[in-house]
A = this chain, B = another copy of it.
Amino acid sequence: MSASLEVEFKFRDVDLASVEKRLCELHAVPEGVREEVDLYFAHPARDFSRTDEALRIRRIGDRNWITYKGPKIDSVSKTRDEIELPLADGREAWESWKRLLERLGFRPVRQVAKRRKRFLLDWEGWAIEISLDEVADLGVFVELEIVCQHEKMAAARDALSRLAAELGLQTSERRSYLELLLQMPQ
């Protein structure tokens, strides 16, 4: 809702154990492990892949959210309008929301399920969130993220690049987990 941005790098073909070891040496703070499930829906009348939109319900532990992502509104950055709202807690609420959306003609098309181990690291004065992800059907990934004001984007990106080098992360991946899943051979 504010003017802050997520600057995010993702890497594939990673060795989670060695990344985690290096994070410990850098005194990163472990933030726990959690299961995250994103269930994406197709629209009853629009092709979201053409309109560049998305609708999903997200489950993190016992908590649920709904997220609408609008089309990218800027060709250079990945800026898009996003509306994320909390839903009632618990698995029963999750199932009811799924049923409600299905009744309205939305069809669940893809589920992204991951086990995410999170760390917080103070790096060059930036608060960096690091996620070690084991993604069902896709494998393991590391995400590095800074939330900052728009005007600090370039500096944040440079800091993330240096951290990536420090952690031995090389193979950058720009596609979302959803895109990767959709592009997999059936």
Inter-chain contacts of A85 with B (CB < 8 A): 87-88, 93, 96-97, 100
| Structural contact, A105 and B70, CB atoms closer than 8 A | no
**How does the 8 Å CB contact mask read for A98-115 relative to B, with 1 for contact and 0 for none?**
011001110000000000
Q: In the complex, which residues 63-96 of chain A have their Cβ closer than 8 Å to any Cβ of chain B?
A: 66, 68, 70, 81, 83, 85-88, 92-93, 96
CA distance in complex: A20, B81 (Å): 50
Q: Which of B44, B70, B96 contacts A103 (CB 8 A)?
A: B70
Inter-chain contacts of A92 with B (CB < 8 A): 1
Interface of A is mostly: mixed
CA distance in complex: A97, B68 (Å): 11
Q: How far is the CB of A148 from chain B (nearest CB, A)?
A: 19
Which residues of chain A have a CB within 8 Å of any CB of chain B? 1, 43-46, 53, 55, 66, 68, 70, 81, 83, 85-88, 92-93, 96-97, 99-100, 103-105
Can you list 23 residue pairs at the A/B interface with Cβ under 8 Å? A1-B96, A43-B44, A43-B105, A44-B45, A45-B45, A45-B105, A53-B103, A55-B104, A68-B100, A68-B104, A70-B103, A81-B103, A83-B96, A83-B99, A83-B100, A83-B103, A85-B87, A85-B88, A85-B93, A85-B96, A85-B97, A86-B88, A87-B87
The 3 A-B pairs at the shortest CB distance, nearest first, are namely A45-B45, A83-B100, A44-B45
